[in-house]
Amino acid sequence: MTNNPASPTALQAPNNDVSWLRDAFAKVQTNLMDQMDFASQSISHAGTMGSVNEEHWLSLFRSYLPNRYDVASGIAIDSLGSRSDQIDLVVFDRHFTPTLLDQKSHRYIPAEAIYAIFECKPTISKGYIEYAQNKAASVRRMHRTSVSISHAGGVYSPKQPFQILAGLLAPRADWVDGLGKSFSQCIGSEVVSRLDCGCALEHGSFDFFEGELKVVKEQAALMHFLFRLLSRLQSQGTVPAIDWAAYSRIVPA
């Protein structure tokens, strides 16, 4: 005597319970908040605490970004000799474009290799927004080369460099209403300096990826922020092919 096979209806029934996944994503956010709260309570030196929290953000990005992206702190440079200030978190291409003059955690990153930059601060506030906007503008104004690429079927034309993404990351926002009206009045809209996205763990995330300010205040805002960032990075494609001949002119013959 054989067992009756499972009914087709039972086999095809979809599992629409996403609550476990939502809870897991919320836990990632809670864990990161706990780590940063512990740092603020146990580390008295502001600079050291800032470095520790920066490492927490770097670790998170490395965990969720695909291997085609590298993440580190560093200084952006271009072939004209321009240098940025130290940037807390840089998302860049390491496959086609090596970093230069690396010394431990210190590195120079060619502007052509950069997809996005982020500042990691104690809060999202008016002052830190302006600070991050100035960093964004300074990197976006850098000279970026682009050359053609030969392939089996011919030659790809030089790619037009995309605008480098910029953002701000913090445990919380500085206003009573979190990422509300006061925040929206500070964020600005000038293209060269605008922050494209950001996250305040306690209060939510924001971005301009669809042309206007979008703020998410739900519990899993961190993962919402990461998934939307991944989507935007994906839409950028690959960085332009760097013109190493332009950099060679810096070195005396």
Tell me the pLDDT tens digit for each residue of 190-248.
Answer: 888 999 999 999 999 999 999 899 999 877 789 899 999 999 999 999 888 888 889 88
Angle (CA) 79-82-87 rounded to 5° is 115
Where do the domains of the chain lie? 25-147+158-248
Residue 141, pLDDT > 50, answer yes
pLDDT band at 101 (very low <50, low <70, confident <90, very high): low
Give the residue numbers marked as catalytic.
88, 119, 121
Beta-sheet strands, E only, within the chain: 69-77, 87-93, 100-103, 106-110, 114-120, 123-124, 149-151, 154-156, 165-170, 172-173, 197-200, 204-207, 214-216
- Determine the pLDDT at residue 52: 79
CA-to-CA distance for 110 and 114, rounded, in angstroms?
7
Mean pLDDT, range 141-159, rounded to an integer: 83
Is 29 within 8 Å of 221 (Cβ atoms)? yes
The third-level CATH classification (topology) of the domain covering 25-147+158-248 is Restriction Endonuclease (3.40.91)
One DSSP character per residue, 97-138 reads S--EEEETTEEEEEGGGEEEEEEE-SEE-HHHHHHHHHHHHH
CA-to-CA distance for 170 and 206, rounded, in angstroms?
12
